[in-house]
Amino acid sequence: MLHINDLSYRIGGRLLFDGASVHVPKGHKVGLVGRNGTGKTTLFRMILDEVAPDGGSIRLAGRTRIGCIAQEAPSGEASLLETVLAADTELAALTKEAETANDPNRIAEIHTRLADIDAHTATARAAAILAGLGFDEAGQARACSEFSGGWRMRVALAGTLFARPDLLLLDEPTNHLDLEATLWLENYLSTWPGTLIVISHDRDLLNRAVDTIVHLHNQKLTRYAGGYDRFERTRRENLSRQAALHSKQLDEQRRIQTFVDRFRAKATKARQAQSRLKMLARMEPIASVMEERTTTFTFPNPTDLSPPLIAMDRVTIGYDDKPVLSGLDLRIDHDDRIALLGANGNGKSTLMKLLAARLKPMDGKVTKSSKLKIGYFAQHQADELNLSSTPLETLTQRLEMTTESKVRAHLGRFGFGADKAETKIGDLSGGEKARLLFCLMSIEAPHILLLDEPTNHLDVDAREALVQGLNAYEGTVILVSHDTHLIKLISDRLWLIDDGRCEPFDGDLDDYRRLLLDQARQRRRESKTEKSNGHADKIDKKAERQERARAREQTAGFRKKAQAAEHKLEKLSQQKTEIEQQLADPSLYEGHSHDLRALNMKLADVEKAMEAAEQDWMNAEEKLAASQS
């Protein structure tokens, strides 16, 4: 599928690739990993032929269709569903041509190709992808222009997935997603039928969705079998083995050199000494294992405060007199580690703003310790940094009465050495800006760290360093993140925000994953049973038991109806296939037009009957499920 051979490339005088080679077979799923700035995105650009390499070659199998997320989010008045459908350019072109084509052979070719690419399921597939990425049925009908940039980037991702390219390139696909959409994407990519290369720092995604890791390091591409955990284990073993071999070689070199130094001047040993010198010259050096400079996060520990740190009593919060969350009865104590769950738009960031005192309650009471200090991290804060200033200057302004040595010491806790401390913020990478925000938020040794998507610009190593730093921190952490690995290692309590409420979630992240999958499967059923909930609430327990008993008696009838509808669907599906085969026959378009009209009318009748049979099957299944609940 993809062959990268002896690739070399420089950018601004810096060598990114030097004789790098790797082969990606058809159907393989690859995670491309490496530290930020090593050239992963540049490699994608070379695969897309947007950048020419200085040396070597990149070869793709003939007629390979490449899919990647566009740099600019889609916009305009087209609905989300229409936008995603249009992303499959072949489907869109064939559908449009089918309306105007006159040549019988061409019409037959169009119908055949539409059948091959499952055109009849296109709308359902597009809707399912949009739903997985967080768009309900009403949202899918709205125009792209009505959504923010982050949500429109989800539409771009949906379009790329829907087009089903032969080679799918994804660069940090989870950056614009919440936890719920990230979990869906992990599951979707794990069953992706084509070839996939994904750049990601999401450890769980790299463990669940790929079968190969390609590591970009020291300008080379090295391939490892398995997911990220296996890659890390294998690489650690290789480095340990290399270090041992290097140490053994140094010992041997010292032994030989000692012999040479001792006996070179003696005539009887001169020939042996000369032989040893030649042996040293021929010895292939084993490279020493160079430890990469690691990112650090060292959060200062807070002073002790009497519990609770924060208590809420029937609190309501929102904007412009419109409540977002209500009835909040929550308590936060010292050393709590809480992750907030819930889809984007449900109120996670709203709750964080309340805790950070950036939003006042509309109703209820919030009690805090008078000495409570809170550190708040949010990605949008990076836009508020003075790009012409340096980290040292920025921190010095915040700590006016502090010596420069102490300012530099605090910067050092977050990986800013002498060089980076005096680099303009505008020249820092996204990950370095994120670390500067961590540095600024922890100046006063806060008792609570509020972290809203803290890992978006951090690579895998930096995320691991953040985990270590937070686990060493002795204060309270409240976390919103789509990084499931971070949530698992940091939090010991989960709060679910849904339907205007915030309640403790009884279970772990795997339980939440299963809950989301169950909800996705039952979404249609739940929407139809909502109308009966009001009446059901009024039935007392005895009447409810009687109602369930009657429902169980009807189970056999519902099952029989479902089986009959399913059998009818199979027969209708077979009829539809036969009609489509007839429509694909070129000779049909050379005869009388009434034959073509008759077949099209018959096809329409069959499709209408299929919809009715499918509805009958769904109704029977829903009643069967309800009777068994």
**Interacting residues of 344 by C-beta distance below 8 A, sequence separation 6+:** 134, 178, 180, 181
DSSP state of 91: H
**In this predicted model, what pLDDT tens digit does every residue of 559-594 receive, in sequence order?**
667 777 777 877 887 787 788 777 777 676 666 666
pLDDT at 422 over 50: yes
> Would you state the pLDDT for residue 566?
72
Q: Are 332 and 386 in contact (CB under 8 A)?
A: no
Cβ–Cβ < 8 Å for 481, 179? yes
Of 168, 175, 156, nearest in space to 192 by CA? 168
Where does the pLDDT of residue 268 fall: very low under 50, low under 70, confident under 90, or very high at 90 and above?
Answer: low
Is it the case that residue 501 has pLDDT exceeding 70? yes
The three-class DSSP label of residue 481 is coil
Say what the pLDDT of residue 137 is.
86
At a CB cut-off of 8 Å and minimum separation 6, what does 527 contact? none
pLDDT of residue 531: 40
Q: How far apart are CA 94 and CA 113, in angstroms?
A: 8
Comparing 553 with 231, the larger pLDDT belongs to: 231
The pLDDT assigned to 114 comes to 85
Q: What is the pLDDT of residue 241?
A: 72
CA proximity to 309, closest of 369, 373, 376: 369
Q: How many CB atoms lie within 10 A of CB 118?
A: 12
- CA 234 from chain center: how many Å? 24
> Dmax over Cα atoms in the chain, in whole Å?
111
- Per-residue pLDDT tens over the stretch 1-21: 899 999 999 987 789 999 999
Buried b or exposed e, range 577-604, using 16+ CB within 10 angstroms = eebbebbbeeebbeeeeeebeebeeebe
C-alpha span between 523 and 526 (Å, rounded) = 5
Q: Is the pLDDT of residue 105 over 60?
A: yes
CA atoms within 13 Å, Cβ hemisphere of 585:
13
Q: Is the pLDDT of residue 553 over 60?
A: no
In this structure, are residues 306 and 369 in contact, taking their beta carbons and an 8 Å threshold?
yes
Could you tell me which residue, 436 or 625, shows the higher pLDDT?
436
Q: Which amino acid is it at 4?
A: I
Task: List the alpha helices (DSSP H) in 473-592.
Answer: 484-490, 509-529, 533-538, 541-553, 555-583
Identify the band that residue 119 occupies on the pLDDT scale cut at 50, 70 and 90.
Answer: confident
- Distance, CA of 9 to CA of 306 (rounded, Å): 59
Choose among 565, 563, 534, 536: nearest CA to 551.
Answer: 536
Euclidean distance between CA atoms 364 and 362, whole angstroms: 7
Interval 156-194: pLDDT, tens: 999 999 989 999 999 999 888 888 889 899 989 998 988
Residues 6 or more apart whose CB falls under 8 angstroms from that of 546 comprise: none
Q: Give the β-pairing of 322-328 and 310-319.
A: antiparallel
Is pTM beyond 0.75 here? no
Higher pLDDT residue, 557 or 315?
Answer: 315
- For the cut 60, the answer to whether the pLDDT of residue 545 exceeds it is no
